[in-house]
Amino acid sequence: MVLRLDPLVGAVHVDAPSLEVGALVADLARRLPLEVTDRPGTPDYTVAIGSTTSGADLVVDGAGWLAAIGTTVDRQNDGNPIGPLSAATFAAAEVFKAGFRLLYPTRAQDMDLQPWSGVFSLFSYQWDEASPNLDEVGLDTTLVGLGGAGAGFVRAITALGDRVHGSLNLVDGDVLTIHNLNRVSYASVVATLSGALKVDEAMALLRQRCPHLTVTPYPETFDEYKRRIQRRADRIYDVVVTGLDNDDTRWEVQRDLPRILIDGATGRDMNIRVERVEFGRYGCLGCTRRRPPPAADEPRQCDAPPDVRAPSLSFLSSFPGILAAGEVIKESMGTGQLRGSFDHIFRYGPNPDLLAMPAIRDDCCAGCRSSAKLRQYRAKYPGEVLPE
């Protein structure tokens, strides 16, 4: 993530055992166009991972469901990727803020970039250090969208390795372009230059890393995907994850009535949101995503080239996908799920006050107050108890 902050970050020096460095560099060289040298240098900023190394500018650690900045985590690693990957996003954000304050002090002051420290639980979204052990993870999930947020989801699931089983459907009709490399972390340089399908590249990585997970690619839009089964009443989805920049598609997925819908999204103020919808119990995506859809002739800039004067904030786009994967893991555990949404603004530290359970709106775009919709949902999932 720090390498993806180019041009703000010009070089990264790695100090670790040679075997770890070799494996890391080999993987990075597949996914980023970079130059590898063994020339020593004096860094402007030092990050210590999992250790309170003397002289480090930043200490970062993560284990289980916990992510820490400025300190370490008193917990053994149980193979849960959510705490460590979240800690990586927090650390990359701190590096970004430090570099921005150094190079553009006036602008950084205007943006109110604030450092933070502490231990945050991505299980409870509180400072309580809640972190239940992770065992086997079973999925019955459809992922719609394989851009930046979808890449964060894929990264988290691949890190589960052989402890994840079940099925994962990947739905996205787009191909990779060179501009994807700054935020789509599962993509390789070779596949990107050849214009490979996003679903095929993500599938290849997931199948390589997760031998017990059945991964099925669908290189198409969600509208095309859902019409494989003609009647809406027959389209049963246990969990659907959306990682999109298109509210029209979010509403379309919500109207198709998944049992649980988890959405990961980014904003324009270094902010993200992960939202988990229990249909009919509180506001759904049709209630909360009130921004009007873009005009039909408005060009979409999702895969446009990044600004040459500023870095792509890959930590920003990947974080909601990581949290969405965490919510899917909690579904498998049967406990601790988010009810509503959690927001995070990377200019500050994580804040449990940004948890929210949205109200149901009368003008909901998905019609979640409709008696007909509620009957459809009950018919699809008879085990789900809805308020009368």
pLDDT class of 139 with cuts at 50, 70, 90: very high
Is residue 192 one of the residues assigned to a domain?
A: yes
Q: How many domains does the chain have?
A: 2
Given this model, what pLDDT does residue 120 score? 97
* Tally of residues, the chain: 388
Given this model, what pLDDT does residue 336 score? 74
Domain termination site, one of 56, 86, 121: 121
Are 254 and 363 found together in one domain? yes
pLDDT class of 80 with cuts at 50, 70, 90: very high
Angle between helix 82-103 and 148-160 (nearest 10): 140
Are 116 and 145 found together in one domain? no
Are 196 and 335 found together in one domain? yes
Indicate whether 306 pLDDT > 60.
Answer: no
Alpha carbons 245 and 231: distance in angstroms, whole number: 27
Q: Which domain holds residue 151?
A: 137-293+304-380
3-state secondary structure string across 273-306: EEEEEECCCCCCHHHHCCCCCCCCCCCCCCCCCC
Is residue 278 one of the residues assigned to a domain?
A: yes
Mean pLDDT across 205-226: 98
Is residue 128 one of the residues assigned to a domain?
A: no
Amino acid in the structure at residue 377: Y
- Which is more confidently placed, 337 or 355? 355
- CATH number for the domain spanning 364: value is 3.40.50.720
Count Cβ atoms below 10 Å from residue 335 Cβ, excluding itself.
Answer: 9
Per-residue pLDDT reduced to its tens digit, 101-126: 998 899 888 889 999 999 999 999 99
The greatest distance separating any two alpha carbons of the chain, rounded to the nearest whole angstrom, comes to 68
Amino acid in the structure at residue 165: H
Mean pLDDT of the chain, nearest integer: 91
Indicate whether 17 pLDDT > 90.
Answer: no
Indicate whether 79 pLDDT > 70.
Answer: yes
Are 61 and 196 found together in one domain? no
Are 109 and 141 found together in one domain? no
Are 323 and 253 found together in one domain? yes
pLDDT class of 221 with cuts at 50, 70, 90: very high
The tally of CA atoms less than 13 A away on the side-chain side of residue 303 is 15
Given this model, what pLDDT does residue 181 score? 85
Given this model, what pLDDT does residue 305 score? 52
Strands in 160-270 per DSSP E: 164-171, 213-218, 239-242, 260-266
Are 186 and 70 found together in one domain? no
Domain termination site, one of 56, 91, 121: 121
Are 162 and 97 found together in one domain? no
154, 206 contact by CB (below 8 A): yes
Is residue 129 one of the residues assigned to a domain?
A: no
Number of H helices, E strands in the chain: 11, 12
Are 67 and 161 found together in one domain? no
Domain termination site, one of 121, 152, 181: 121
Are 169 and 80 found together in one domain? no
Are 167 and 111 found together in one domain? no
Is residue 132 one of the residues assigned to a domain?
A: no
Given this model, what pLDDT does residue 70 score? 95
Is residue 100 one of the residues assigned to a domain?
A: yes
- The fraction of the chain above a pLDDT of 90, given in percent, is 71
Is residue 10 one of the residues assigned to a domain?
A: yes
Is residue 253 one of the residues assigned to a domain?
A: yes
Are 147 and 105 found together in one domain? no
Given this model, what pLDDT does residue 97 score? 93
Cis peptide before 7 (omega within 30 of 0): yes
